[in-house]
């Protein structure tokens, strides 16, 4: 029943998006609160606030030295894919914020789908089924890339919305409903909390600009990087909790 709940939500989301009208990019999406040019760099704070993603990815490499952090080889590979995605977020998002438009946004969204989908697959493996996570990692990554390509050529964000927001619901449910295969599950809760803060600061970008010149978007990057820091620290210290 617990697995049926997780799968049922995915099916329900697919059906809801299928019958929903196409979701188009809002006209003001690229209009960030802080667009100052500092030291010759356009949208300075929105660009440089992506550096923490690269630092987190580099910090996360140390977990690869742990023999106990990965029960199966595919989990180590999936973790490498996730770290690569986090590092590419720093590059892709920095490039996008330097010149915000739909064309550059592709390079921001592509690595984010790599992070979302690899994290979803590894959590399925860690909480539900190792073989299930192993079998789903490649299809989920392909789905993530396809969602961005589909949006770019059709203008429809429905599939990308599924890729971004389904993990936000599925991951906390898996944490609550399934026992951990590794120790250190609190890191997942910290990751979820910081990412919720990141989304809040993203939505409140212009309102926060009334209090801070940077607006909320650079802080979105900072909190999202902290979310990933919680995860990579958890992986570095985790040990098998059950076989």
Task: Return the residue matching tokens 């570095």.
Answer: 236
Residue 54 token pair? 């690269």
Q: What is the pLDDT of residue 18?
A: 87
pTM of the shown model: 0.92
CB 70, CB 79: distance < 8 Å = yes
CB 7, CB 152: distance < 8 Å = no
Q: What is the pLDDT of residue 47?
A: 97
Q: Is 80 left (phi over 0), alpha (psi -120 to 50) or beta?
A: alpha
Q: What is the pLDDT of residue 243?
A: 46
Torsion of CA 234, 205, 150, 224, to 10 degrees: -10
Nearest partner of 151 among 141, 163, 160, 142, judged by Cα = 160
Give the burial class of 8: count Cβ atoms within 10 A of its Cβ; 0-12 exposed, 13-18 middle, 19 or more buried: exposed
Half-sphere exposure of 39 (CA within 13 A, CB side): 4
Residues whose CB is less than 8 angstroms from the CB of residue 206 and which lie 6 or more positions away in sequence, other chains included: 33, 215, 216
Per-residue pLDDT of the chain in tens (243 residues, 90 and over written 9) = 888 888 888 888 889 888 889 999 888 899 999 999 999 899 999 999 999 999 999 999 999 988 888 989 999 999 999 999 999 999 999 999 999 999 999 999 999 999 999 999 999 999 999 999 999 999 999 999 999 999 999 999 999 999 998 988 888 888 888 988 888 767 888 898 899 999 999 999 999 999 999 999 999 999 999 999 999 999 998 988 754
Q: What is the pLDDT of residue 242?
A: 57
CB 230, CB 187: distance < 8 Å = yes
CB 187, CB 196: distance < 8 Å = no
* CA distances (Å), origin 122, targets 30, 107, 111, 228: 32, 23, 17, 14
Residues whose CB is less than 8 angstroms from the CB of residue 95 and which lie 6 or more positions away in sequence, other chains included: 104, 107, 108
What are the chain's domains? 2-24+44-237 (1.20.1070.10)
Q: What is the pLDDT of residue 150?
A: 96
Interatomic CA distance for residues 40 and 36, integer angstroms: 10
């Amino acid at each position: 029943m617990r697995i049926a709940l997780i799968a049922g939500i995915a099916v329900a989301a697919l059906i809801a998006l299928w019958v929903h009208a196409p979701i188009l990019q809002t006209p003001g999406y690229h209009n960030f609160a802080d667009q100052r040019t500092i030291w010759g760099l356009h949208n300075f704070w929105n660009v440089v606030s992506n550096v923490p993603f690269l630092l987190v990815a580099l910090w996360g490499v140390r977990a690869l030295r742990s023999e106990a952090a990965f029960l199966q080889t595919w989990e180590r590979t999936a973790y490498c894919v996730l770290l690569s995605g986090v590092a590419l977020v720093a590059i892709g998002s920095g490039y996008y914020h330097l010149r915000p438009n739909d064309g550059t946004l592709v390079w921001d969204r592509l690595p984010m789908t790599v992070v979302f989908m690899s994290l979803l697959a590894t959590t399925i493996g860690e909480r539900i089924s190792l073989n299930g996570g192993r079998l789903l990692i490649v299809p989920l990554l392909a789905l993530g890339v396809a969602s961005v390509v589909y949006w770019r050529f059709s203008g429809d964000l429905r599939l990308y919305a599924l890729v971004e927001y389904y993990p936000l619901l599925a991951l906390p449910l898996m944490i609550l409903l399934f026992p951990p295969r590794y120790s250190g599950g609190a890191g997942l809760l910290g990751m979820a909390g910081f990412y919720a803060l990141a989304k809040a600061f993203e939505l409140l970008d212009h309102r926060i600009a009334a209090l801070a010149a940077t607006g909320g978007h650079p802080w979105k990057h900072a909190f999202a990087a902290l979310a990933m820091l919680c995860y990579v620290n958890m992986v570095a210290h985790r040990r098998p909790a059950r076989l």
